[in-house]
Chain A
């Protein structure tokens, strides 16, 4: 066994001893950190779902342009050309009155029989324009200025609502990330400080025997990492179960909501959670050690 492995073995044994000196408090700290990390993982997952939803909506963002029924085919083609050159317009498709009727029939499904009661086709021909979601306001404003345009129907309220929701989730994610970072660092630092206080005699003795600071610090670093990583792992398991339940529940009632692949969502949220737990464990332990050393 090499000297490094022997030392690592010693450090781990010491970290376990330090952990055991305040077992109940440390276990409760793991529980608190698990809850904090779980909230973080839920928000990380929500943010991922929100981003997927937003990008799906962005890709499918459309507006409908209605024009004068008696417009000649040349004038219609001119209108289409004029729309095509507007910045942010991806494509323009002409929807005839028949196609508009068929679409509504398809949307209504079993209830489409109601259309049989109509004597004539009430639907109008229109232009279906695929656009860049971020330019929806300028595009609609521009189209309204074009000749022969009767009405522009956009779903701007819904799109704005979705964008606002994503902003709220992103803000909440950032806010919770900062709050979680601070509370984890403070909590881990406190655990380390408490461990140092409980073992102050041992540290003084080791110092007088000539032990380097790094040698004495490593078991505390391992303790901090162990606490945050175990909390992160428990939170990760709970989060994975929640994602699985959510996907199984959303399958039937909300099939149209665009969701990221479950495996992708699990990998992203779990990877982020473990990285954050690892980073905060190191920062928290160092913070705890140096805040005591300064005194």
Chain B
């Protein structure tokens, strides 16, 4: 079971202006894990996610996602296998929740019925079955985050990456969203969440915790008991 979904070997990310965002990072995430990447603002969490999403390329080191070495030539294929949940939601304005969820599947190998069925199922799973045809412009922040999660999971990704999914939410909503995201973990799906709210994960059992600070991996712990 424990195949690597993310494999980072001595990764360094240096921006053209000379700033070093990440320095010598190395870790592995296995299939079916819940991985939390924590650290204060500016610790390098977002830079790490940029590497996972192929927005940036490592200056040094090697990064593999879902068994493929991340490279400009295969980044599109890798992105199609990931379910991203963005901090700022990135929903398409003026469209319904259903259209937004289906948007992540339009270019994949699904027909309209499959897309609709899977999107509706995902919206039911995130508790928005009553807002399927609502305009996303009229949703609350918590609901928008749920639509973003539904869009990420509707296409059955092998890896869900959520960037500060609780950042814009109150405590109760943040707990709910975290519960929701971790509920997608199964033997096939790895859920990776970045957050600076460590208090939200302290009580969680069975997770992989990566702590970062100033662009470096401070410590790593697998809490399986």
Contacts and interface: CB of A to CB of B under 8 A. Distances in A.
B131 to A, nearest CB: 20
B106 A1 contact: no
A233 B81 CA distance: 44
Given A1-B112, A6-B112, A201-B90, A206 B103 contact: yes
B130 interface: no
A212 interface: yes
Interface string A201-224: 110111111111001000000000
A215 B84 contact: no
A215 B106 contact: yes
A3 interface: yes
A290 interface: no
B84 to A, nearest CB: 6
A247 interface: no
Contact of B84 (A17, A208, A211): A208
Given A201-B90, A202-B92, A209 B111 contact: no
Contacts of A202: 92
Contacts of B106: 7, 10, 211, 215
Contacts of B86: 205, 208
A201 B111 CA distance: 25
Interface in A63-109: none
A3 B105 CA distance: 13
Contacts of B46: none
A210 B79 contact: yes
B224 interface: no
Contacts of A204: 90
A208 B112 contact: no
B76 A210 contact: yes
Main secondary structure of the interface of A (DSSP, over half): helix
Between A7, A207, A208, A210, the greatest number of chain B beta carbons within 10 A of the residue's beta carbon is seen for: A210
A210 B111 contact: no
Given A208-B90, A209-B103, A209-B104, A3 B79 contact: no
Contacts of B104: 209
A212 B76 contact: yes
A247 B106 CA distance: 53
Interface string B54-86: 010000000000000000000011111110101
Contacts of A210: 76-82, 107
Contact of B53 (A17, A201, A208): A208
Nearest to A202: B92
A209 B112 contact: no
Contacts of B55: 208
Interface residues of B, number: 21
B107 A212 contact: yes
A215 B107 contact: yes
Contacts of A17: 94
Contacts of B81: 210
Nearest to B110: A3
B112 to A, nearest CB: 5
Contacts of A207: 79
A204 B50 CA distance: 13
A208 B107 contact: no
A211 B92 contact: no
Given A10-B106, A215-B106, A209 B84 contact: yes
A228 to B, nearest CB: 26
B47 to A, nearest CB: 15
A274 B106 CA distance: 32
B197 to A, nearest CB: 24
Interface in A112-170: none
A211 B76 CA distance: 7
A211 B84 CA distance: 13
Interface string B93-111: 0100000000110110001
The 6 A-B residue pairs whose C-beta atoms are closest, nearest first, are A210-B79, A210-B80, A205-B90, A215-B107, A211-B107, A6-B112
Given A205-B92, A206-B103, 10 more contacts: A3-B111, A10-B106, A208-B53, A209-B80, A209-B103, A209-B104, A210-B77, A210-B79, A211-B106, A211-B107
25 contacts: A6-B111, A6-B112, A7-B106, A202-B92, A205-B86, A205-B90, A205-B92, A207-B79, A208-B53, A208-B79, A208-B84, A209-B79, A209-B80, A209-B103, A209-B151, A210-B76, A210-B77, A210-B79, A210-B80, A210-B82, A210-B107, A211-B107, A212-B76, A215-B106, A215-B107
